[in-house]
Structure 1
Amino acid sequence: MRTDETDPRTAGNAPAAIGSLDNALDLLASAATRSPSAEDHDRAALAERVVRDAVAELQATQLALTEALIASQDRQLAVEALARINVRGAAGDDTLSLLLDRALSITDSRQVLFFEGREVALVRGDHGDLGAHVSLVRAALEDAPDDAVRAVASDTAVIGVLDPDGATEQHIAFFRSADRPFSTIDVPLIEAIVSAIGIMLAFRELHRHEFERAAVEREHQLASVLAQSVISTEPPPSADVDLYARTVPAALTGGDLYVFGRSTGAIWFAVGDVAGKGLPAAMLMTRAVAACRIAFLTRPDDSVVDVFQRIEDELFDHLDDVGVFITLTVGVIREDTGEVSLVNAGHSPVVFSGTEVEAVKASVPPVGVIRGRVPRVWTTVLGVDDTLVIGSDGLAEQTDPDGEQFGYDRFTELCRSARGLSSTDFGRIVFGAVDGFARGAAPSDDATLMVIRRGRTLA
């Protein structure tokens, strides 16, 4: 690459003019020390010409330096304008073409090529010698792939690497004609242009990833809303059973579920919690809800054990394949007598609040852990003031800002206050107590609550 310390129009002119001016001044000083003669007149005339020539040379030098400074400032402003183009936008192909057009003009090039991988993606300027230029760039990249900016082919081409840390190898190549080769004073300008375009391309890649992420997130949101909608149903109306159910996902959706079913003279119910959070848990939750509904519809007169095993048969293989389990409580209440039969598969908290408060323990592991275990059935008859409370661990394990959990003991003690309250009133008390305890702390898990009482709904 040709080396130029200053602008070629001014190199060496100013020192020569200054030397000539010094000589002329010496001549004038010599003539002034004695009486003028013809020879002195000649010397004075020569000195005058030298002074005039030196002044003219200095004026030309000043003009050239001013023009060079203006050109440099114009280049700087052009690069700054280049750097401001679409910094926050998508930086699509149209924007990239605009950037390359600006680069073509700023560098006074005849052709600019943009490479992705080793293939030409965009050409700006004339298309002359395109094949030869492409081959030249590919050969140069093979010889020195790690050079940030390099000149090749007798200084008529300069190649710069764009975003060296990017996922795709990208380069930009500038070409001039042989009579106007690049020089060292062009390197800072080209480096600035390459850096500016590299920033634009990084923004374009970031925008593309953000757009793809937003599209995926939107699909997840839609799937989550659809998943959550499968459990947003009111309890079946009954003159003899007072029911309340609510679920609050920790995120957009979660893995908690509750299901109701109806048969002659009885109401079936289930409360479950899929291991995990987010969309995967929500997808499994919808499958579990479907399995419960199918079992409630197809086995309405079966025992609670038969219905539970029907649900387990529907879910087990799938849960085993993905390595996930579901804690599940399944039960039925007879509307005329208030008799409740319940199977607890690894679920908590399940609390019966009667004369005494009793935690209903699990009799089999969660669904998806061990298949075919025959569960023990918990049975009771609800009195007028008795309440069956089925929650999820998101309630008992909610933490406050200091990291303390609400706790299963506190939840069980809270169930003592259920006597004399409607299911809805007590449900609101539970969520209010947990929210108050959290004092603004983020939910640690999905929170679900079902409350079952005898008598007409009071809320």
Structure 2
Amino acid sequence: MSSTFWRRFRWHPPQGTASPGAPSAWSWRMMMAQGPGPLVVALVMIAGILIAGFVVPTTQHLASLMAVVPATTAALAGPRLTAVIAALSCVAAFVLDAHDDLLGTSIPVVHLAEIGLISAFVIASRSIRDRSVRELTEVRIVSDTIQRVLLRPLPPHVGHLRIRATYHASHPHAQIGGDLYAVSRCAAGVRILIGDVRGKGLPAVEDAEALLGAFRAGARRTRSLTDLIAELEFSVRGHFEEAGLTDTDAVERFITALLLEVPDQGDTVRAVNCGHPPPYLAHGADTLLLAPASPSPPLGLGSLNAGDYAVDTFPFSRRATLLLYTDGAIEARNSDGQFYDLGAHVAAWPGSQPEDLLRHVLDGLSHHVGGGAPMELDDDIALIAVQYGDDLPAPAAAPAAEALVQGRTSVSGPGARAVPQRGTGPG
């Protein structure tokens, strides 16, 4: 075997790792997947069959066993190495047939045809698989890029607020969807938008992008929440009208949204709820559901007049934690068809840090839908925890930069004011 061939197929450890001889947790697995493992296994199998063929009586013909070698190699390596091993297997089979004095018969031809046909099949299968993996990788790269545009990492703090967020996709390969959230620093304080687009797929992503773009453009320059929500309605409605020129289903689309404003000075939170599930406020042993007194229709179905929107004001003390969530959190079912009781789980939260609340809710969801196994959900879930941070530096008088992010949210809830929740949720 030439040195050029060995350099082509030999194992190279990943960059940043220790020397090849150093112990590592991934060594055997990575060697079998990327390194010399497949080549070593194939050569050992060929040598083993050859030795066995020379040891057993010549009446026992083992050349046909060589077909196993390329089939095994294809499961571990790519088409090129499998083709090389197939050629070596044919040579080894010919050697065994010569040792068994079969060269004057049709048996060597049968053995070579058997190895050739099996090798061609496994090489073709491996080529199709590798092409599919490359395509999936490219799709994931594009998806990750779009995610970075729409679902930017949530800043850990904005103004006087500490903000934590988590996102759990219903599909293991999903990165983005119609759920969205964004945070913006404004002169009045911090504004938070969370929404859920009706539908899935690319149209939902386009709808989410339209709303997020409108929020980014207007959150800092629009003075009141009602003016901002009317501006968002105008932008979303215009987007749906343009989409309707090529998509007849666009007229049936809408976006539920919850727009919050937390002033820098004060202990309240102002909210405009457009068909979105109300948030929870955890404060010690009490858990409140901040349901709107007069909920508005979802965006795309609402009014362009700012005066038609009602602003609800709720208490938000320095030691309270605000939880925003998606409908996946309250619509998740267990094997018995029971909804996840988010309110009860929030009420049972013993911690004080916003990231602990998110972990507490997700752990409860995992046990509810799968008994602790990896979650299998019918819908995506996004959770945002907001809390005053007394240890944070005083915010600037005017917003110097906009902190933006995205995720996803839910769709249901009662129509009242702050409703105390002790062990019951909206599900």
| TM-score normalised by L of structure 2 | 0.54
Tell me the equivalent position of 2:19: none
Query: Structure 1 residues 383, 88: CA separation in 2 closer, same or farther (over 3 Å shift)?
Result: same
* 8 A Cα contact 2:281 2:323, kept in partner: yes
**1:202 CA drift (Å):** 1.9
**Aligned mates of 1:249, 1:319 — CA distance in 2:** 28
Deviation at 1:271, TM superposition (A): 1.1
Q: 2:298 aligns with which of 356, 359, 365?
A: 365
Q: Is the 8 A contact 2:63 2:94 kept in 1?
A: no
- 2:261 is the alignment partner of 1:332: yes
Task: State how far apart, in whole Å, the 2-side matches of 1:414 and 1:311 are.
Answer: 37
Q: Look up the SS of the partner of 1:440 in the other structure.
A: coil
**Contact persistence 2:218–2:231 (CA under 8 A):** yes
SS at match of 1:332: strand
Cα distance change on mapping 1:443 and 1:231 into 2, 3 Å? farther
Matched, 1:411 2:338: no
1:268 aligns with 2:202: no
- The secondary structure found in structure 2 opposite 1:213 is helix
What is the CA-CA distance between 1:328 and the residue it aligns to?
Answer: 2.6
Partner of 2:325: 391
Deviations 1:244-272 (CA, angstroms, capped at 9, x unpaired) = 33122233534333210111122221112
Are 2:158 and 2:190, in contact at CA under 8 Å, matched by a contact in 1? no
Matches within 5 A, 1:58-457: 76-82=61-67, 84-85=69-70, 87-89=72-74, 90-92=78-80, 186=106, 193-229=112-148, 230-234=151-155, 236-239=157-160, 242-250=161-169, 251=172, 253-255=175-177, 256-274=179-197, 288-297=211-220, 299=222, 303-313=227-237, 315-316=239-240, 321=247, 326-337=255-266, 340-351=269-280, 357-360=289-292, 363-365=296-298, 370=301, 377-385=309-317, 388-400=322-334, 402-406=336-340, 410-413=341-344, 426-427=357-358, 429-438=360-369, 439-441=371-373, 442-444=375-377, 445-452=379-386, 456-457=389-390
Cα separation, 1, equivalents of 2:162 and 2:95 = 76
How well do the aligned residues superpose, as a CA RMSD in angstroms?
Answer: 4.8
Q: Distance in 1 between matches of 2:202 and 2:139?
A: 7
Residue correspondences, number:
306
After superposition, the Cα gap between the structure-2 partners of 1:104 and 1:189, relative to the gap in structure 1 and judged at 3 Å, is closer
Percent identity between the two aligned chains: 19
Letter in 2 for 1:448: A
Per the TM alignment, residue 221 of structure 1 is displaced from its structure 2 partner at its CA by 3.2
State the distance in 2 between where 1:83 and 1:426 align: 54
Please give the per-residue CA displacement for 1:184-236, whole angstroms capped at 9, x wherever unaligned: x74x7656544432221221122112212221222233334444443312254
CA distance in 2 between partners of 1:395 and 1:208 (Å): 41
For 1:451 and 1:267, the matched residues in 2 are separated by 14
The superposition leaves residues 51-70 of structure 1 with CA deviations (integer Å, 9 ceiling, x where unpaired) of: xxxxxxxxxxxxxxxxxxx9
Tell whether the 8 Å contact from 1:331 to 1:340 is kept in structure 2 after alignment.
Answer: yes
Higher relative contact order (CA 8 A, sep 6+): 2
Cα shift at 1:392: 0.6
- What CA deviation, in whole Å up to 9, does each residue of 1:142-179 have, x standing for no partner? xxxxxxxxxxxxxxxxxxxxxxxxxxxxxxxxxxxxxx
Normalization by structure 1: what TM-score? 0.51
Q: Is the 8 A contact 1:223 1:279 kept in 2?
A: no
Q: Secondary structure at the match of 1:405?
A: coil
What secondary structure does 1:247 align onto?
strand
Give SS of 2:182's match: strand
SS in 1 for 2:258: strand
Deviation of the 1:357 alpha carbon: 3.8
**Rounded Cα–Cα distance in structure 1 between residues aligned with 2:166 and 2:198:** 16
Q: Structure 1 residues 192, 425: CA separation in 2 closer, same or farther (over 3 Å shift)?
A: closer
Alpha-carbon distance, 1:389 to partner: 3.7
Secondary structure at the aligned position of 1:382 is classed as strand
Q: Give the distance between the partners of 1:227 and 1:435, measured in 2 at CA.
A: 27
- After superposition, the Cα gap between the structure-2 partners of 1:412 and 1:283, relative to the gap in structure 1 and judged at 3 Å, is same
Change (3 A) 1:431 1:237: same
**Which structure has the bigger radius of gyration?**
1
Kindly indicate whether the alpha-carbon contact (under 8 Å) linking 2:278 and 2:290 is maintained by their aligned counterparts in 1.
Answer: no
User: CA contact under 8 A between 1:312 and 1:371: conserved in structure 2?
Assistant: no
